[in-house]
Chain A
């Protein structure tokens, strides 16, 4: 009889949702009741809205349970493990019990996420059992030459998944073509886009996959050293990478004369980033590894010619690298068979915001935004109306609802004014104010501008001031035109991607939601009822119970009315701070 296995998802967000406690509970009861089941851990399977997730595999099949706290864990042990009777109410995916959440997995094609949530990331044997290190072995055993490897990557059509979308194979070719005694491979794991966590999940769930991708790259371009530049905000990812590197060294997968290939030496080091968004830019990242301020420099020379310590360097991001072993092992044609004409393969998206089923999804290129949101994501949360989706983070833009039939590929997304970016997809509903979102992103880029280029340093600051003014009801005629002028100057006058794309959130919202800007400026109204200073607060006399919670909270004593009497707000005294709205337990404060 097959032994029952219990697998608990222990990614960062799973732990935040309480998966650690669930795991301990299984551990405790297993020891206390001397139960004979195997307890394992894995990483994020992407179904974030149902964390903590527990998978039970027994001889009858596999059952994925969602939102399992210690109490439910006890129930599962009692019913499922001891008495072989699964609990359908908690099941989110299983062949035996079709669950409503099943749709989240349908339509997904997992290549970059092939191992995330399916194995213990701290165990190299489990990775090897899933064709791990088989791609580099295939290269070694079949004497595939570096140029052939590069040709395979070119044939696959893989484009940089960090946002740039440049052909990965071509990039490798450039780095290979420069002769130098020392070359470097860098993995950009400085995922800084707010609203994106694809790379974190991959690093936490499949660290060996990233290492193997880098080893193959090292072989292809002729590099002997690799760096992973990882955000310090991802402590779990760094921990698992360190474990993975150590295991790979012990097995002889990192070091000298690897996989029986004489003269192929490759080792990997981790560099912890110190917190600067601009370090996602290649030349800034290199400066940071060299121990300097992360400021971009002019290109050319490109890193492929003169990168880290002035040596030829190839930089790709986490998702790009993790695709490589699959492409080499399965063959480039299989990868190229997916997607659209110019965007091949799959892309991972972090689906967040006002969405029912937020999480990590991997879909073939060419799927529409609408399908991602409605079919995989289950639609908008709380029955609200879909307004727009923000793609590409601070460098990207908002795509409005009426363009949600847009295909997800590099060129179609660019045509809307947004960018594919690294894969953040933040869904907004009717209560999200686009002017506020634009202000939010400008606030971010303004803080993160390294200060080298004047337009980026001062221009973003001026744009932020104007946007802030608009959202507090002090917008003036001509503000929109001034924003546009500044936006174009910043795009033209900045050296690196940060400045060149910083105005995108403003430009796209102006393009699709100009009327909302005008409402803010001319009528001093926020159509989404989100900008506090533009709202009028009123007490619904029917709902008010006279509990005085708002009266006590009001900092300017603008609310009148005694105990158990309906209150009212003195509009001329009200400073629109919104405290009464948050204090009221009965929903009696109305916004208009």
Chain B
């Protein structure tokens, strides 16, 4: 039996993207044609939008000539890249060894329960994305969580909840 090959559809950038992709132009100009530019391009795109929108993949592919499959393959390989929008605040729960030994799991469970989401998800109000990460390198302060750029150490479930509630209260004002 002969294999029927399906010709891939030509992929053109989306004419009217849902997000404004023009900020990517200077990024692409900076890295286009440079050796090893794929990851910096993805990192730069994520920095612009907080995640990598579908349209951005197509634009990167179209403007730089990089393979779409490679772009997607790399983006899904590394923990850093997101393909869906994240919440306004990102909560990173450290699940490193030291934090694990100091019962961080109980704290994570408490927060997931309170925010009513699963690991890696974003709350309905778009305020928080919560995810477990391997190690934040602040082991002596275990258990630790990082909200945006700020690290909170020596947590208890109660304290962690308090911090989250406070952010929510400040956002409501």
Chain A contact residues, CB within 8 Å of chain B: 12-13, 15-17, 48-49, 51, 191-197, 200, 232-235, 271-272, 274-277, 288-294, 309, 350, 352-354, 358-359, 390, 393, 424, 426, 428, 432, 437, 440-441, 444, 448, 450, 578, 582
Contact = CB atoms under 8 A, between A and B. Distances in A.
Interface string B116-156: 00000000000000000111111111101000011111000
Contact of A192 (B40, B77, B98, B134): B134
A196 B78 contact: no
A426 B98 contact: yes
Given A194-B97, A294-B77, A440-B97, A48 B141 contact: yes
B70 interface: yes
Contacts of A272: 43
B84 interface: no
Contact of A17 (B39, B81, B141): B141
B138 A16 contact: yes
B35 A582 contact: no
A294 B139 contact: no
Given A15-B151, A194-B134, A294-B78, 17 more contacts: A13-B138, A16-B144, A192-B135, A196-B139, A197-B139, A233-B135, A274-B39, A291-B39, A293-B74, A353-B102, A353-B142, A358-B139, A426-B97, A437-B100, A440-B97, A440-B100, A450-B77
A382 to B, nearest CB: 12
28 contacts: A12-B137, A13-B138, A13-B141, A16-B144, A17-B141, A48-B141, A49-B140, A192-B134, A193-B135, A194-B135, A233-B133, A271-B36, A272-B43, A274-B42, A275-B79, A275-B80, A292-B70, A292-B74, A352-B140, A352-B142, A353-B101, A353-B102, A426-B101, A426-B139, A437-B100, A437-B101, A444-B134, A582-B157
A197 B138 contact: yes
B138 A195 contact: no
Contacts of B134: 192, 194, 277, 444, 448
Interface in B76-90: 77-81
A277 B157 CA distance: 28
A452 to B, nearest CB: 11
A196 B79 CA distance: 19
Interface of B: 35-40, 42-43, 70, 73-74, 77-81, 95-98, 100-102, 106, 133-142, 144, 149-153, 157
Contacts of A233: 133, 135-137
Contact of B80 (A51, A232, A432, A578): A232
B114 to A, nearest CB: 13
A195 B144 CA distance: 12
Contact of B135 (A195, A235, A441): A195
B101 A350 contact: no
Nearest to A50: B140
A352 B137 contact: no
Nearest to A355: B140
A354 B100 CA distance: 11
Contacts of A309: 35
Nearest to B35: A309
A276 B36 contact: no
Given A16-B152, A292-B74, A432 B101 contact: yes
A393 B140 CA distance: 15
Nearest to B98: A352
A274 B153 CA distance: 24
Contacts of A197: 135, 137-139
A315 to B, nearest CB: 16
Which of B37, B141, B150, B152 has the most A CB atoms < 10 Å from its CB? B141
Contacts of A440: 97, 100
A578 B107 CA distance: 13
B23 to A, nearest CB: 20
B153 A17 contact: yes
A578 B105 CA distance: 12
A359 B138 CA distance: 10
Given A192-B134, A309-B35, A582-B106, A291 B74 contact: yes
**A-B CB proximity, top 9 nearest:** A48-B140, A275-B79, A194-B96, A291-B38, A195-B97, A274-B78, A16-B151, A194-B135, A352-B98
B165 to A, nearest CB: 17
Interface centre among A192, A274, A292, A441 (most CB of B within 10 A): A274
Contacts of A196: 135, 137, 139
For B40, B42, B96, B137, the residue with the greatest tally of chain A CB atoms inside 10 Å of its CB is B137
Nearest to B157: A582
Given A12-B151, A352-B98, A291 B36 contact: yes
A501 to B, nearest CB: 15
A578 B109 CA distance: 11
Contact of B37 (A291, A426, A578): A291
Given A49-B140, A358-B139, A353 B97 contact: yes
